[in-house]
Amino acid sequence: MKRVLIAVLDASLRSRLFARVGEFGHRVDAVADALAIERRLAKDEYDVVLVERGLASQPAETDAEWIEVDPGLDPVELDRRLDTLRGASDPD
């Protein structure tokens, strides 16, 4: 199981991503602003961060895979970006 942080301002997209990534069996947290991203990354370690384009840039101190998404992203492209998480559950 991977730890995934969803950092998306758009509530609809954040909700869809949360549900979709949860279906893959990963542990998911979600935040909606840059300050919350900083706090979460300082507190916990994540394998993947799904971040809304322009909301934050990847801090040097994280090894997490950083995947940009945005509300206007084509659903096919969004699925392609999420493919890295599908079937990628590691046993604990």
| Domains of the chain by residue range | 3-82
pTM of the predicted structure, to 2 decimals: 0.86
Q: What is the CATH number of domain 3-82?
A: 3.40.50.2300
Q: CA-CA distances (angstroms) from residue 29 to 1, 11, 74, 76, 77?
A: 13, 14, 23, 23, 22
Classify residue 31 as exposed, middle or buried by CB count within 10 Å of its CB (0-12, 13-18, 19+): buried
pLDDT in tens, the chain (92 residues): 999 999 999 999 999 999 999 999 999 999 999 899 989 999 999 999 999 988 877 777 788 999 999 889 898 998 888 888 886 544 44
Give pLDDT, residue 59. 78
C-alpha distance from residue 11 to each of 7, 37, 72, 77, 88 (Å): 10, 15, 13, 19, 25
